[in-house]
A and B are shown apart, each in its own frame.
Chain A
């Protein structure tokens, strides 16, 4: 008898032999129980391999990915040591229906270096939050207005915070601003996309929330 089929067994199983090679293989198989047995075993392996299931990773890997791509859900959570929950919101903003025409050229997404170097706006006094001036008459830019005001407050109060807090807030704002910029870039391509509008809105909400909490931080004595 010829030598066994060896590698040609796999080619045979894969239907990759033809012509004389196929005829020779079949002739060998008809006479060789060992190779016939191997064909059966190989077919079984291949069939099992085709039927293998996918299963998800044992732990969620998104967090690590999010961190590396600078996404929210990574390091974006504001890790204030004394995190406070403030009950107030800016319901007027929601009520405004969020036309989000702020997309045009708002201040909301521009770089927020309010804690760094930027001089405090003149004449900005501490504005009590209960009276946070949401200009209902200026619904076109509700977020811009609120954000600008909060930034001004923070600029004034900057010296009252310790440097670790300043760094934390700045880092968080950079992440949020990046998300805002990304959402806007996507909206430029697809302006009427409801998901993108909602995403931008929630990102802006996050920024507002962060600014509010930062502005309400107690003074370091």
Chain B
């Protein structure tokens, strides 16, 4: 059976802003207290961060709050940003942490994947775009642990060892959760 290189490559979505000189200037200004520069950084990264967060927590309202928390935290900690990674990577990592901690502190009613298993809302024929949207919604209905591992690994490109460290679990747990999430999503797409 042929093996594809595709799936073992982490998505390269974090690095688009690396090394951008105008961004570096805004980071420096923001670190010195310039909120207008920080607003430009927000505008540039809002979609990226909000999309990450939206997939990690449940519901738009929570996603908005976590996104705002992440940017406020970034503002407070800009002084500790040393430029070892790109600002985008640093911000992204920070947002992951905020989202993970949000889950711990938020005892919320959760819609379970299996409670939603109706085939009625499936369109008769799905193009690739619709299928991606469908996947995005299905991610939101995964059990929290599986969802977070899936988002971090398959959407965001983290390795199991990194996920284990971020989430305070073992790499084995991360692998098991990933497989569980993928199988649920596969079943969902193939309903």
The reply to whether the CB of B117 lies closer than 8 angstroms to some CB of chain A is no
- B42 with A62: CB separation less than 8 A: yes
Query: Is A48 a contact partner of B135 (Cβ separation < 8 A)?
Result: yes
Instruction: Count A-B contacts at CB 8 Å.
Output: 159
Number of interface residues of A (CB under 8 A): 59
A12–B5 CA distance with the chains assembled, in angstroms: 11
Pairwise interchain contact A183-B34, C-beta atoms closer than 8 A: yes
A6 within 8 A of B: yes
A111 at the interface (CB under 8 A from B): no
From B1, B28, B183, contact of A38 by CB (8 A) = B183
In the complex, A36→B76 CA distance in Å?
A: 50
Question: A-side binding surface: helix, strand, loop or mixed?
Answer: helix
**Shortest beta-carbon distance from B77 to chain A in Å:** 12
* A191: interface (CB < 8 Å): no
How many chain B residues touch the partner (CB < 8 A)? 56
Q: Is A121 an interface residue (CB 8 A)?
A: no
Q: Which of the segments B95-103, B106-114, B174-182 contacts the partner chain? A: B174-182
Contact present for B35 and A57 (CB under 8 Å)? no
With most chain A CB atoms within 10 A of its CB, the pick from B9, B34, B64 is: B34
A33: min CB distance to chain B, Å: 12
Contact string against B for A residues 147-177, beta-carbon threshold 8 Å, 1 for contact and 0 otherwise? 0000000000000000000000000000000
Contact B33 A43 (CB under 8 A): no
Inside 8 A of B36's CB, which chain A residues have their CB? 71-72, 199
A residues with CB within 8 A of B: 6-7, 9-16, 26, 29-30, 36, 38-39, 41-59, 61-62, 64-66, 68-73, 179, 181-183, 185-186, 188-190, 193, 195-196, 199
Ordered nearest first, which 9 A-B pairs have the shortest CB separation? A182-B33, A71-B35, A186-B32, A41-B186, A15-B8, A49-B154, A10-B179, A54-B51, A56-B47
